[in-house]
Every structure is written in structure tokens, then in C-alpha cells.
Structure 1
Amino acid sequence: MDSGPERHEAFLKLFTASDAALRAYVRVLVPTRDDAAEIMQEISLVLWRKFDEYQGHEDFRRWAFGVARFQVLAWRRDKARDRLVLSESAVESIAQQMTEDAAQLELQRSALETCIGKLQEEQRSLLRAAYAPGVKLDWLSKETGKTVQSLYKNLQRIRARLLDCVRRNAGAGDLR
């Protein structure tokens, strides 16, 4: 492994590419966002400290999930008296399933980005507006001059088109 700036840059590229999936993984395994944030800090430190052990030919995300699983289990041991903590077997089961699903989820995320890019600009704008934080369709209706029912139908058609596109591009026939 490189030393100095090259090593740091390589780690940051791999870590930032996996950060969202890793956070989602941890969040499923612990009861609160604060717990997940605390554990993520530890995970990032452990990943950096153990980065020399990472074999470049293996999947970084899978390796990071393994480290995360152990950090969650360590956190769980520390919080063992708390009623809100999952059992070790539940954590192991969820962690295993999340690891298996991670590659498919990333493929689906990537396909969704591609499919959104294929939409007409007007459709993309409607999606951005409708799913912006705090936006309500009645407000959007007034802003666009379209009825709420018309917006619902347009969004429904766009979502159906995106779902079909993602299924075709990600081989995700089991999406609901």
C-alpha cells in the first residue's frame, strides 16, 4: 500500500464511495440515528487504522461492512443492558442480509440515476420539485398551475417509467 498522500487519497476515494451504503447498513442495525452516527465515527477510524490490511483486489464495501458489523457488535456489548438493543443473532442475521443486498442496491441506485437522466427535463424538474424537503403537492399545484390530481397522475406515470427502466437496467425484477 502506498504511504503518505497517495494512501490517504486512495482511502478517501474508497470510503466516500461506500459511505452512504455503510451508513444505511449501520442505521438498520442500531435503534437511533445518534447511535449510528457514533458508530460511524468509530468505523471510519478503524477502517483508516486497518487500511494497510485491506487487500486492493477485494471489494472495499464488503470489507467495510465486515468492520462495521464488528463495531456494531462491540457497541451492542457495551449497551447490552439497554432493552432497545437487538440480540446478537438478530444483528448477525441483518448484517449478513445487508451485505448480500448491498451490491444489488448499488446497481439499482446507479440504474435509477441513469433512468432519471433519460427523462425529459420537465419530468426531472417535476420530480425534483415534488420530492424536495417540505414540499406539499397543493403548494406545487399552485406554483405550476396544474391540479393536484394532474400532478399525482404525472408523478405516478414517471415513477412507473422509472421502475420499468430500473428493472431493465439493473435486472431488478423483484422491485415493488
Structure 2
Amino acid sequence: MDDHTRQATRLWTLAQPVVSAFVVSAVRDFTARDDVLQETAVAVMESFDRYDPQRPFVAWAMGIAQNQVRLYLRRIQRDRLVFDEDVLVQLAAAFEEAFPEQSPSLGFLRGCLDQLEGRARELCELRYGRDLKPTAIAESLGMSGNTVSKALQRIREQLRACIERKVSFEKGMP
């Protein structure tokens, strides 16, 4: 290990408890805390040659940690798509059209939609909330139109299966 790396490691080891406490206070998700702290450590080590030894190292490392926390918060904001009432109404209408014989069970749709996460939730929002066609969704997400169409088909099947499970459970069938 060269002197430069040894010095960076020594300073990071001293600053890490303070930086860790900051990350823990700012990031609620336990697993994300570790990721943000690790990303901070990597950023500190990668940018150590830009550190000015005339300034306190802890303050410099905290600045990097703040940037990493901001990046994390931006990421989770984008990931959290919440369906509004219009989206739910449009999805229910789409299900009624596709499965008219199952329309009494559409009351379970909200619970099934709440179980969608990540890309599935985003695709539903774009298709039914914003009324975008698969080709427009594909362009905005950098995917192929066929991939989007297939994903939407799988999501509709997933929602249908969820509704059917809830109906079966309510009727007392396992």
C-alpha cells in the first residue's frame, strides 16, 4: 500500500464514525444505509487526491456524505410512484373491458396495485395514469415497444391473479 492510500485510509477510519452517524440519521432504510455509507467511502477514496490537507478531513468527508445522501434521496423519490384516483379508475375500466365477467371483484384492485413495485408500478402509471401508448413509454424509458407491451401484459396477468386469489380467499377457498 502506498503512502497516499495509507493516509486516505487512516483519515477515513477516523472520520467514519461521524459520517456513519450522519448517514444513519438521514437514511431510514437499514440496507440503504449500508449502501450509502459504502458509496461515501468509495467516493472519499476515489477523490482523496482533491482533498486539501489545510481543511478538516471530517468536514470534507461529510460534504461527500451529504452528496451521497442527496443522490440516494433523489433515487427513491423517482422510485416511489403513487397511484392517484384517476389512475385507479382507468385501470379498473381497463380490467372491466378485458375481464367483464370479473367486474364485481374489481374492489380488490387497489390492494393488488399497492403491491406493485419499481418498474411495474412505473409502467402502470405511464400507461394508465398518463394514457401513453407502449411505443411512447418505450421511447421515454429507453426500452423496445415489444418489451413494454410484454411487461404490461405480465403486469395485467399479475394483477388478475392477485384479484383472483383475493376472491378465492374471501369465498373461503385456499
Q: Which has the higher contact order (CA 8 A, sep 6+)?
A: 1
- Normalising by the smaller structure, the TM-score range is 0.3 to 0.5
- TM-score, normalised via structure 1 length: 0.43
Larger radius of gyration: 2
- More helix per residue: 1 or 2? 2
